[in-house]
Structure 1
Amino acid sequence: MPKKLERRDANIEQAAETAPPPDWDDIRLFVTAAEARSLRKAAERLRMSSSTIVRRIDKLEYALQARLFDRLPDGVELTPAGLAILQHAKRMESSSFELQRAVQARDTNPTGLVRVSITEGLGTYWVAPRLVELQRTNPKLVIELKCAMESADVLRMEADIAVQFTRPTNPDLKVTKLGRLHVYPFASKEYIATYGMPRSREDILNHRLIDQYAPQLEEGVAARFLGIRNPEGIVGMRTNASTAHYHAVEKGAGIGGLATYAAVLSDDLVAIDVGFHHHVDIWMTYHPDVRQSTRVSIMIDWLKETFSPQRFPWFRDEFIHPRELRKLPADSWKINLVNTQPTIFDTDEP
């Protein structure tokens, strides 16, 4: 064993009689670090500095009088003591979340905070503009909208509700399909005026693409369609952000795959018909216990209505071309999402 670790273990043993009881927040931090197998990744997930993570892990090891991690060049690895403690820590964490959900379920007032995690593009361009209407009828609700491509863990109460592209498999979660997101290539009118309209898959190879890479997005979709191993030669811009991706296409930087409802968001976008169409399903998930909370239940019902395929045809399973979506009367989709939706007292769903 390295001398540094020997000294560290010796210090822990010498502190046995004076160590304070472990802090619960430090234990939860330990669980996150153990699952991430990296103190840096744990710091990113918890939005803390790496130095804070290290300091608090050291503090927990001092309190438990045990070394929990071996530090490796590419992360951390649990020691035998850490592995044994992790099982107890996870049970403590699970009991803590059950306690919090039990308290939340007793809340029958339509007031307070509701935390919603949602993919960036859907949250920014579809949900956020419509929240104004919900808040007008529920002025005491506070909606915390986390728009990110990383999925939130609702079992660990990182959010009350999550809207995501990957379907959860944990049987303890309630999972509802909200709709389907259809992706189609678009370019701006300015781009087409400058570089011309591609008419085939082969034509695309002579244009510039805007590429997005992020969690929950399938990799290599464009390359497979184009029949090439790597699109590096034709990618003009790559981004992890849906907002940057959308605006780059809208401002004429290149051709990019956007949700088909982009056709009704901007008249400057033109659909590119080269035989490409991709889709991904939209899932809403939450713990069944939070359905008993009035404020969370209001949000669940509102999200279902906001993504209703019957009212918003671009969320249907069947593909509808963007030019057909543009033919829809504005009143058919620019409608008040609150006044016509059922309340939690009008639905039979558990």
Structure 2
Amino acid sequence: MLGLTGTTLMRKIDRLENELGFKLFIRDQSGLSLSDEGRALLFDVEQMERLSFNIFRRAALSTDTRGSVRVAVTEGPGNFWILPRLIDFQRTYRKITVDLSCAMQQADVSRLEADISIQFERPTNPDVIVTKLGRLHIYGFVSEAYRDAHGVPSSLADLRNHRIIKQHGMQLDESGYARILGLESLEGIVGISTNSSVAVLYAVERSAGIGFLPTSVIALGAPLVPVDLGVNYHMDLWLTYHKEFRNSDRHKVVIDWLKHIFDAKIHACFRDEFIHPLDLVPLMTASREAIGFGGYIAPRPV
């Protein structure tokens, strides 16, 4: 993470301890642990860091609806839901630049890694405002060509005769697939493992196997078939930002817009209760006509 070798890092620690005149770490066979002095200094340094972030954050505040707003979001909702709607947003708010970062790595808004973050894990920092945006329901899907060639598993036991496309990454439960599917191991079942939800959708559309995607994919136009195994999974989406940004007009505009586009009263796929993918289709006609998945559908083999 620091981009330093262990030897270089130890030299830097030794040099800092010499300059301070006391030991920051206790060295033993198990490695390094903070000394009492090191623990006290860490508290002071964290306080200094927090205050310095406050200075930068207040400098970024504005009563004008112009400037940049950095939004960090997990890859799927960022690429498939926010980005298509961001095109219309920027036509309305010409002087606001939304810097959209789509990645599975969680951004810490208290450390200025982003102004606004949408994430699966609920923050506990008291300086951060947290709002539940909605619930993302996950379900199994295959392509029509896969169904015609291999059939669709009708039970969890039958799943071993098929291939799974697995997504991995930060904020995702690595053990969740086997646990939710009631399997001791995924060995011999996973055909493709990727950190990209875009890649999962592409692979499913190209008949690589069974992929687990948001329940809204068919309603938004993806030509897929739901796999009814009696299993569904969900993750809550949390909108988080530092409380200082309540006083920034451009940040308030973006925050209100994000709340609107994830409003479960408008978009049924974000409701707390599970709705079968096929039942979502008539409930999301407006979303499909406005956005849809047309630009993401994998090209047909030549």
Fold equivalence (TM over 0.5): yes
Larger radius of gyration: 1
Does 2:185 match 1:230? Answer: yes
Q: CA offset at residue 165 of structure 1? A: 0.7
Q: Which runs of 5+ in 2 are unaligned?
A: 292-302
Secondary structure of 2:110's aligned partner: coil
Q: What do residues 174-226 of structure 1 show as CA deviations (whole Å, max 9, x unaligned)?
A: 11010100001001112112211222222212100111222222233332343
Partner of 2:118: 163
Q: Is structure 2 residue 8 aligned with structure 1 residue 50? A: no
Q: Which residue of 1 aligns with 2:19?
A: 65
Residue number in structure 2 paired with 1:271: 226
CA distance in 1, matches of 2:39, 2:58: 29
| Matching residue of 2:271 | 316
C-alpha distance in structure 2 between counterparts of 1:155 and 1:71, whole Å = 32
Residue 111 of structure 2 aligns to a residue whose secondary structure is coil
- Aligned-residue sequence identity (percent) comes to 44
What's the counterpart of residue 144 of structure 1?
Answer: 99
Which residue, out of 72, 90, 98, partners 2:54?
98
Residue among 185, 200, 204 paired with 1:245: 200
Q: CA 1:243–1:50 in structure 2 vs 1: closer, same or farther (change >3 Å)?
A: farther
Other structure's SS at 2:51 match: helix
Contact between 1:312 and 1:333, CA under 8 Å: does it hold in 2?
no
C-alpha distance 75-285 of structure 1, shift in aligned 2 (>3 A): farther
Q: Secondary structure at the match of 1:50?
A: coil
Residue in structure 2 matched with residue 262 of structure 1 by the alignment: 217
Contact 1:202–1:226 (8 Å) recurs in 2:
no
Pairwise CA distance, 1:158: 0.9
The residue type equivalent to 2:193 in the other structure is R
CA distance in 1 between counterparts of 2:143 and 2:30 reads: 43
**Structure with the larger RCO, 1 or 2 (CA within 8 Å, 6+ apart):** 2
The answer to whether the 8 Å contact 1:250/1:268 transfers is yes
Count of residues in Structure 1 that have an aligned counterpart in Structure 2: 288
Partner Cα distance (1:262, 1:248) in 2 = 14
Distance 1:164 1:237, change over 3 A: same
Distance 1:265-1:102 versus aligned 2 partners, 3 A rule = same
CA distance in 1, matches of 2:177, 2:259: 31
Deviation at 1:119, TM superposition (A): 0.7
Q: Distance in 2 between matches of 1:239 and 1:121?
A: 13
Closer/same/farther in 2, CA of residues 324 and 75 from structure 1, 3 Å limit: farther
Aligned partners of 2:267 and 2:284 also within 8 Å: no
User: 1:227 & 1:324 partners in 2: Cα distance?
Assistant: 26
CA distance in 2, matches of 1:63, 1:113: 41
**Counterpart Cα distance in 1 of 2:164 and 2:26:** 44
In 2: Cα distance, 1:231 partner to 1:170 partner:
36
Q: Deviations over 1:278-308 (max 9, x none)?
A: 1111110111111211111111001001101
- Could you tell me whether the CA contact under 8 Å between 1:61 and 1:68 is conserved in 2? no
Question: Structure 2-normalised TM-score?
Answer: 0.85
Structure 1, unaligned stretches of length 5 or more? 1-40, 44-48, 337-350
